Amino acid sequence: MSLFLAHHKQHRKAFWLAGGLLLASAALLLLGVSVGSTGFDSVLKLQRDPQALLIVWEIRLPRTLGAWLAGALLGLAGAVAQGLFRNPLADPYLLGSASGASLGVAVAMVLFGVSPLATHWVARIGLTGAAFVGAVLAVLLTLLLAKGVQHTLRLLLAGVIVGVVLGAITALLLLMSPDVLQAMQSFMLGSTGFVGWAACAVMATAFAACLLAAVMLSHVLDGLALGEATAQSLGLRLPQMRAALVAVLALATGTAVAQTGLIAFVGLAAPHLVRSVVKTTHGRLIGLACLMGAVLLTAADILARWLVAPQELPVGVLTAVLGGSYLLWLMHRSSARGSGRGAGL
């Protein structure tokens, strides 16, 4: 009976958390279309100005919606990564996708103008396409080095190695071509300023596909949480299902990074914040982490536009500062609890 009551309590907590995050998303969406280069504007006042209304519809609304979608993708990827690697510190960028995306953008910028053929292909795929291709190739290289997805530790180590090597190659390219360094800054620091309706459509499509696949595979993450041997004893086909989860992780991360650049800590912090409120299965955790990541990145984007208006802070810098502060506070709280238990003993 007590177990049933505890389950019912957690279910109710998850319901209220989802409702609160949806309400926060709606409020942030309204707030996002009201924040411009001069600070806050009244949406009702903007409706009487056709030019201002065009700015809201073509710039502010897709940017705010794009921040929500990118945050949702990173939150989903973070929940999948932490469940797949059975490590609460796992990050969506662990498989080398971030370094691969950075290298793809750097290569595209260096090749632009080198020859007519190179310029044609760079113009054709664009920086977004180059980032996505680089992220996918980096994940494939990680899988090749790890010899598949059978060994989680080997996959994790291969991802770290690929990330370091590709990051070093990117740095070398930038040293050889310093004229592209400034153009790379907006990508390296993260920005939603270039997100339009086309980017929103791409992210919405990828988010729908990844969310459906992740929820369908959530029972695999629940099984892995009990241990690999237990998961195999439950009849789960771990190699195939791990490969599907890696594909979901790569697609979600690659899509978000390609559209908004490198945004730190959202994918890491979102599942942590959800688990600090409610203990639930991975099926619900993934959905709640999506909403939490969306709220975090949308709020950070609004702050980045408003804090030093009419200037703008890189949203990746803001999420890194806030996310790092949160993790430091979490470590301090954990160590304080450990000391308290030690004193009690």
Q: Which domain covers residue 132, as residue numbers?
A: 50-299+314-344
Q: Given pLDDT bands bounded at 50, 70 and 90, which one contains residue 212?
A: very high
What's the whole-number mean pLDDT along residues 93-122? Answer: 83
Q: 163-187: per-residue pLDDT in tens?
A: 999 999 998 888 888 777 777 877 8
First to last CA, the chain: 32
- Compute the mean pLDDT over every residue in the chain, rounded to the nearest whole number: 83
Q: Per the structure block, which two tokens stand in for 38?
A: 């001069």
Domain with residue 209: its CATH number is 1.10.3470.10
Considering the domain boundaries, does residue 29 fall inside one? no
Proportion of the chain above pLDDT 70, given as a percent: 87
Whether the per-residue pLDDT at 195 is higher than 50: the answer is: yes
Whether the per-residue pLDDT at 44 is higher than 70: the answer is: no
pLDDT at 38: 56
Output the 3-class SS for 209-246: HHHHHHHHCHHHHHHHHCCHHHHHHCCCCHHHHHHHHH
The region of weakest confidence among 39-48, 92-101, 293-302, 311-320 is: 39-48
What phi and psi, each to the nearest 5 degrees, are found at residue 310? Answer: -85, 0
Spatial separation of the C-alpha atoms in residues 211 and 136, rounded to whole Å: 19
Whether the per-residue pLDDT at 13 is higher than 90: the answer is: no
Q: Per the structure block, which two tokens stand in for 56?
A: 């809201």
Spatial separation of the C-alpha atoms in residues 339 and 345, rounded to whole Å: 10
- The DSSP H or E segment spanning 40 is strand 39-40
Spatial separation of the C-alpha atoms in residues 38 and 128, rounded to whole Å: 29
What's the whole-number mean pLDDT along residues 233-260? Answer: 84
Whether the per-residue pLDDT at 46 is higher than 60: the answer is: no
Q: What is the DSSP letter of 96?
A: S
Whether the per-residue pLDDT at 227 is higher than 90: the answer is: no
pLDDT at 41: 60
Considering the domain boundaries, does residue 80 fall inside one? yes
What's the whole-number mean pLDDT along residues 151-158? Answer: 84
User: Can you state the angle between helices 61-85 and 282-306, rounded to 10 degrees?
Assistant: 140
Question: What residue type is 29 in one-letter code?
Answer: L
pLDDT at 341: 54
Spatial separation of the C-alpha atoms in residues 62 and 198, rounded to whole Å: 9
- The DSSP H or E segment spanning 36 is strand 35-36
Q: Given pLDDT bands bounded at 50, 70 and 90, which one contains residue 60?
A: confident
Q: Per the structure block, which two tokens stand in for 6?
A: 């505890």
Considering the domain boundaries, does residue 142 fall inside one? yes
Higher-confidence residue of 334 and 204: namely: 204
Question: What residue type is 215 in one-letter code?
Answer: V
Q: Given pLDDT bands bounded at 50, 70 and 90, which one contains residue 291?
A: very high
What's the whole-number mean pLDDT along residues 17-22? Answer: 92
Spatial separation of the C-alpha atoms in residues 297 and 318, rounded to whole Å: 10
Considering the domain boundaries, does residue 283 fall inside one? yes
Q: Is 48 helix (H, G, I), strand (E, B) or coil?
A: coil
Q: Is 283 helix (H, G, I), strand (E, B) or coil?
A: helix
Give CA separation, 340 vs 160, 328, 334, 335, in Å: 35, 18, 10, 9
Bridge partners (DSSP) of residue 122 are none
Considering the domain boundaries, does residue 25 fall inside one? no
CA angle 300, 82, 215 (to 5 degrees): 90
Considering the domain boundaries, does residue 250 fall inside one? yes
Proportion of the chain above pLDDT 90, given as a percent: 26
Output the 3-class SS for 138-172: HHHHHHHHCCCCCCHHHHHHHHHHHHHHHHHHHHH
Q: 299-334: per-residue pLDDT in tens?
A: 999 988 888 777 788 888 888 888 778 777 777 776
Bridge partners (DSSP) of residue 169 are none
What's the whole-number mean pLDDT along residues 62-67? Answer: 94
Q: How many domains does the chain have?
A: 1
Spatial separation of the C-alpha atoms in residues 69 and 191, rounded to whole Å: 13
Q: Per the structure block, which two tokens stand in for 212?
A: 């459906």
Considering the domain boundaries, does residue 34 fall inside one? no
Considering the domain boundaries, does residue 27 fall inside one? no
Question: What residue type is 84 in one-letter code?
Answer: L
pLDDT at 183: 74
Contacts of residue 174, defined as CB under 8 A and 6 or more positions apart, other chains included, come to 106, 180, 181, 184
What's the whole-number mean pLDDT along residues 66-92? Answer: 91
